[in-house]
Amino acid sequence: MRQAYAFVTGALTSALLLIATLIHLTTVGDGGAWDYWLGVSFGVVGVAFVIASATWISVGSRQNAHR
């Protein structure tokens, strides 16, 4: 179950980062500043989500080890 959750989390995060990168790369002209910060925010949220998920999984596995 945890492996499936980790896989889905990784896939969703990768998809978000890919979408943010594509949005950033398709930016043309001076109006692209908000696209840049949108990409940065997606990246930060993605990294935070992965760290939170990894922490949640490791805490859960430690709790199961004590049982």
Q: What is the pTM of this model?
A: 0.47
User: pLDDT for 49-62, tens place per residue?
Assistant: 888 888 877 777 66
Question: Residues in the chain with pLDDT < 50?
Answer: none
21 membership: H or E segment, kind and range: helix 2-25
In degrees, to the nearest 5, what angle opens at C-alpha 9 toward C-alphas 6 and 12?
150
User: Where are the domains positioned within the chain?
Assistant: 2-60
